[in-house]
Amino acid sequence: MSQSDCGWPTTEGRTCARESHAAALRAGEWQGFACAMRAFDHASFTDALERSAAVLDAAIADLVDWSPARDQLLAAVAEHEVMHEGQLIRHMYALGHSLPASWRWA
């Protein structure tokens, strides 16, 4: 995993956040930051995004014992995802690109 000078993950943060929040949702509390990414090419990123989405979806679907702590964890990962979507939209506009048709909600 690549890290910045402060020790925080860099480019793979979105997939790692999903993995970490999935583990936290299952446990009912934060378990620390974890990341399974080891390669950083296009195919690896695509695979990691799909896999981490499935892991998070499964963690949410499997839960039957929702608590205020789990509600907060779910809100945190949703906020994290929205932040990254906003970053992508700003970059697209800054580069003069239009958004894909699937992003028309933005």
> What are the structural domain ranges in the chain?
13-103
Residue 5 has pLDDT above 90, yes or no: no
Distance CA 53, CA 97 (A): 26
Structure tokens at 74: 């779910």
- Residue 99, pLDDT score: 87
Tens of pLDDT, residue by residue over 58-81, are 999 999 999 999 999 999 999 998
CA angle 25, 49, 86 (to 5 degrees): 85
Phi, psi values for residue 56, rounded to 5° = -65, -45
* Dihedral pair phi/psi, residue 85, rounded to 5°: -60, -40
User: What gap in Å lies between CA 30 and CA 50, rounded to an integer?
Assistant: 22
Please name which of 72, 40, 86, 91 lies closest in space to residue 16, comparing C-alpha atoms. 40
2 or 37: whose pLDDT is higher? 37
Using the predicted structure, report yes or no on whether residue 6 has a pLDDT greater than 50: no
Q: What's the whole-model pTM score?
A: 0.74
Q: How many Cβ atoms sit within 10 Å of the Cβ of residue 90?
A: 10
